[in-house]
Chains A and B, each alone.
Chain A
Amino acid sequence: MTQFLVENKAVVVPGERLVEGMDVVAGPNTYRDGDAIYSERLGLAAIDGRTIKLIPLSGRYVPKTHDVIIGKVFNITMNGWQIETNSAYSAVLNLKEGGSDYIPRGDDLTKYYRVGDYLVCGVVNVTSQKLVDVTMKGQNLFKLRGGRIFSVSCNKVPRIIGKQGSMVSLLKEATGCKVIVGQNGLVWVSGDPAMELIVQKAISKIERESHLSGLTEKMSAYLEKETGKKVFQGETDGV
């Protein structure tokens, strides 16, 4: 007889018994030991029919292919740039991936990106040894100029972006700032300095209250109060 020992969306800790019985599949971040399924991390249990998985609530960023991240140039080598990724591993931006223009070998690389520059870059490849390759070729990948950068928990990034980007577009519309949220938990905001500050406060509020329902409505009310302007709320559904 299969029995779920936790409710859907309950907080579970490592080693907690989640399911008893053989006809449930152990999904990501869980493991089976004999008859029972146990959790392998701290997170929220997600029951989906006959599978159970775990959505992590904490942990550092681990680079994944196709992620768009905000990285910082910390070194320049013969073949390209080395990028800090806000994780345990640094990334390499090769000359060939340096941008849409051709960069000749032996060129002065500081002409393109200097040490200390922040870049919006895409992760192209991650090896088993966590060697990370990033690219600057592609739409919306560029060097950041001005604005401010701060970090948030990478587990909260999906909430800050919202469904189909609803939360980020709300922030952009309300404050007129440009906002980019990297999958690695770094956020770049650029615009009017007072508005930048409001965005930063709003994002830390989202981070704190990411568990509450109706967050988009709550945030639009908050932004209206802070900016003193009516916020146009288009197709932002109740996230």
Chain B
Amino acid sequence: MVYKTRLENRGFDQARPMEAKVGVIKRADGSAFFRFGHTWAYAAVYGPRNLYPKFLQDPSKGILRCNYNMMPFSSVGERVRPGGSRRSKEISMVTQKALLPVLDLDEFPNSVIDVFIELPETEAGSRCAGITAAAMALADAGLRMKDLVAAVSVGRVDDKIVVDLDYSEESYEGGPVADIPVAVMPNSGKITLLQMDGIISPEQLSKAIGMAKATCVKIAEVQRAALKEKYKASENNGQ
């Protein structure tokens, strides 16, 4: 069996329909929503604020604390048990490491910036949607960042290199599959997250990463447009 066409006639280098909105959570200092098809992520940023217990404080810079959480009813499979799991803890950590390179937290010693990522609906690629939403929320919170971060998963399904795998592709049984979440700083093309699950050849991998970078540039456009949409009214700031 050969993998020929994708669901909904998607091209192999085409991501699922994207949607982004900024300022969705009123009480947060910054918030954003991002969606890849049926994978929805809400991110809320609180802070910089006081950090306790005190031994966690860093006197040289502020710290970033990320929390990734899939809601119990979010996935197509079994109910996700509420609370943290080994998986969510790992994803929280890689999210933090994907976002830190763009942030400048020197201005906030001894304080913390909390990022909460909630996923009400997931169908593969949730950490990428989470990172993309969190980058927008951090910008909305007015933090100093040298760039945004956009993320997408790429990979291989049988003999095809594809962008933004959905659940049916991630669990494809007709051939080998590789799933590679990639986060990129769109200006410089530098990679801040690269994980892999599956089997892929070096040539296929470099082709996949190239496609991820190209897709992240498109995602960054969506992010920028969403951020500007919220503040558009301020554009003709008459004085």
Contact = CB atoms under 8 A, between A and B. Distances in A.
B144 A88 contact: no
B140 A212 contact: no
B145 A40 contact: yes
Interface residues of B, number: 41
Interface residues of A, number: 35
B47 A16 contact: no
Given A14-B102, A88-B48, A211 B145 contact: no
Contact of B146 (A31, A57, A60, A130): A31
B49 interface: yes
A214 B238 contact: yes
A185 to B, nearest CB: 12
Given A56-B142, A58-B141, A59-B142, A239 B30 contact: no
A157 B107 CA distance: 21
Interface in B212-228: 223-224, 227-228
Nearest to A29: B144
Nearest to B233: A211
Interface in B84-98: none
Q: Chain A's interface: helix, strand, loop or mixed, by majority?
A: loop
B234 A44 contact: yes
B142 A60 contact: yes
A213 B142 contact: no
Contacts of B30: 58
Contacts of B139: 13-14, 41-42
A214 B236 CA distance: 12
Contact of B144 (A10, A40, A90, A239): A40
B123 to A, nearest CB: 28
B143 interface: yes
Given A40-B104, A57-B142, A60-B47, A129 B109 contact: yes
A165 interface: no
B134 interface: no
27 contacts: A10-B235, A11-B228, A11-B232, A11-B235, A13-B223, A13-B228, A14-B102, A14-B145, A15-B147, A15-B185, A15-B186, A38-B187, A41-B142, A41-B143, A42-B142, A42-B227, A42-B231, A57-B234, A58-B142, A60-B49, A88-B48, A88-B50, A89-B110, A89-B111, A130-B109, A210-B234, A213-B238
3 nearest A-B residue pairs (beta carbon): A213-B238, A59-B142, A15-B147
Given A13-B139, A15-B102, 19 more contacts: A11-B232, A14-B146, A14-B147, A15-B148, A15-B187, A16-B224, A40-B144, A41-B139, A41-B143, A42-B139, A42-B227, A56-B142, A59-B143, A60-B29, A89-B50, A130-B110, A211-B233, A211-B234, A213-B239
Interface of B: 29-30, 47-50, 59, 62, 102, 104, 107-111, 139-148, 185-187, 223-224, 227-228, 231-239
